[in-house]
Amino acid sequence: MYEQEMKKCFRLAKKGSGKTSPNPLVGCVILDKNNREISSGYHKQYGENHAERDALLKISKEQACGGTLIVNLEPCNHFGKTPPCSGLIIEYGIKKVVISNRDPNHIAAGGLEKLQADGIEVITGVLEEEGRFLNRIFFKNIIQKQPYIVLKTASTLDGKIAASSGDSKWITSEGARRLARKFRQEYDAILTTASTVLADNPIMKHKLKVILDSKCKLNFSEKIFNTGKIILINSQGCEYKKALPKNVEIITAGSLNTRLDLKNIFSKLYSKKIMSIFIEAGSKLNGEIIKYNLADEIIQFTAPKILNDNTGLSCFNGASVNLIAEAKLFKLVELKTVLPDFYARYIKI
């Protein structure tokens, strides 16, 4: 019961993708006392009304009285950017609240107990797994205090991202590349390496870009510095020969096995309220991410091409492995065509 309404909540919630961080994605549907839909809403942007408030304020208390409110995440019970939604639900005379997931944030949680104490019937766990997947970024942030890491690759059928000469443009079609650019906007930051910047000179339009430049090889004339804020990650003792542009910030990171300590870097970025990171880089960084089990999700675009190059670059190149049993395991959660290419989305098991 209420599965269809909850699915609508998910669809509404997704409209806020890329705009609500560090808040979760939330949608809301309201039924009157005769179970007819009378309002809906969603959390549009950080700092704006939560989904419940957005939906309730579109109708009168008379319309809502005795009705049912369906929302994918437990209504908040604290004063943040907006007042607590639990209080407004009570004020509007709602008699039943249906949710998918409890809020893992102890600061905001407690809404259900407040509603129950006021005599409101509460139903939990409707499409719970789907709800958790929708807010997988939020759940990792709150529970692990780390950013959610997405690794994006684009390869041929034989897993190559470049020929032995280094040529890599273009493996996938314009349609696939356009979709990848759209995916970028759903995350707080995109991350790449100085090697990728120097090899491809990409623009990578985004409000925040992170570049790993352990040896201070960049000179700020590269296209990537033309837009957005840039965080450069380098190692101790590394210095740039030119003055930093105004849009550039430096973070010095520690080392692990002669390379930048990626986990330390992600912790430093999380402390700056960067909740999700979309990585677009080469095989070495991809390999390091996989080696240390740091990828929460992989989005892999594949073109119907076979390079057949023995020394061409592969998607991942981070370790020497002798046994198939040593392979890192992921779960396929999405598979779609972007003709002539396709992409697959995997999450860590």
- The catalytic residue positions are 52
Tokens 């970028």 -> residue: 184
Ramachandran bin of 184, using left for φ above 0, alpha for ψ from -120 to 50, beta for the remaining angles: alpha
- 244 strand-pairing partners: none
What phi and psi, each to the nearest 5 degrees, are found at residue 14?
Answer: -65, -20
Give ∠ CA 4-17-47 in degrees, rounded to 5: 105
In order, the DSSP letters of 259-310 are: EE-HHHHHHHHHHTT--EEEE---HHHHHHHHHTT--SEEEEEE-S-----T
- 99 strand-pairing partners: 71
Q: State how beta strands 160-162 and 313-314 pair.
A: antiparallel
Which long-range CB contacts under 8 A does 325-333 form with residues at least 24 apart? 328/290, 328/293, 330/298, 333/133
DSSP SS3 for 89: helix
Distance CA 133, CA 333 (A): 10
Distance CA 147, CA 273 (A): 9
Q: Which two tokens stand for residue 129?
A: 């797994």
- 153 strand-pairing partners: 300
DSSP 138: H
- 31 strand-pairing partners: 37, 68
Distance CA 230, CA 224 (A): 9
Of 198, 242, 250, the closest CA to residue 224 belongs to 198
Q: CA neighbours within 13 Å on the CB side: how many for 216?
A: 14
